[in-house]
Amino acid sequence: MKFTPARLPGVWIIDLELREDERGFLARTFCEREFQQHGLNTRWPQCNLTLTRRRGTIRGLHYQADPKPEIKLIRCAVGAIWDVLVDLRRNSPTFGQWEAFELTGQNRRMLYVPGGIAHGFQCLQDNSEVFYHMSEFYHPELARGVRWNDPQLAIPWPLPNPILSERDRQLPLLAELP
């Protein structure tokens, strides 16, 4: 795997190294030793898969609050997404800033996202699937988020008129977070 630091501190872009032969390829998507060498989490007690049916749909921007912040390893397995991270770590030099990445079934790019960062994506192709490794179990009472269209963030989502869950439509603004 090739590890490249992103602009937000602690976020890594991880690209696969394909071992190709006439049958196709093999690539590692996780290796405890390589992750340890980069000082990254290696304990993933839960993995999630989502299917998003309609292009334009937005999921997010989500995070799990203290005392169980989640580290996420994210990959688009099928289709394509525009993936957005918002730094909510108050002591971070990039607090309140966002960074976006295109993750597709073809580029197989992964994102390593530390706790304290909100995550969301817009589906760019119908029937996109996203696979997550999570460093914590799901605690619904700690599920939090920030509004996708917060004017302070001004995230330029690529597609208009997104489909959103009822919960995501009503998430607070960054300025309203405790």
Ligand X SMILES: Cc1cn([C@H]2C[C@H](O)[C@@H](COP(=O)(O)OP(=O)(O)O[C@H]3O[C@@H](C)C(=O)[C@@H](O)[C@H]3O)O2)c(=O)[nH]c1=O
Footprint of ligand X (CB under 6 A): 48, 50, 59-60, 62, 119-120, 138, 165
**By three-state DSSP, how is residue 83 classified?**
strand
Shortest distance (Å) from residue 66 CB to ligand X: 16
DSSP character for 68?
S
As measured in angstroms, the least distance from the Cβ of 85 to ligand X is: 10
Catalytic residue among 38, 62, 119, 138: 62
Among 132, 133, 138, 139, the active-site one is: 132
Shortest separation between residue 24's beta carbon and ligand X, angstroms: 30
Instruction: Compare residues 75 and 119 and give the one whose CB is closer to ligand X.
Output: 119
CA-CA distance, 125 to 6, in Å (whole number)?
24
| Smallest separation (angstroms) from ligand X to the CB of 23 | 34
Instruction: Give dist(CA 148, CA 159) in Å, integer.
Output: 13
Q: Rounded to whole angstroms, how far apart are CA atoms 19 and 83?
A: 27
169 C-beta neighbours (distance < 10 Å), count: 12
Residue 133 known to be catalytic: no
HSE on the CB side for 38, CA within 13 Å? 19
Q: Is 132 a catalytic residue?
A: yes
Report yes or no: 125 and 77 within 8 Å, Cβ to Cβ: no
- The candidate with the shortest Cα–Cα distance to 147, out of 88, 73, 76, 71, is 88
Residues marked as catalytic: 62, 132
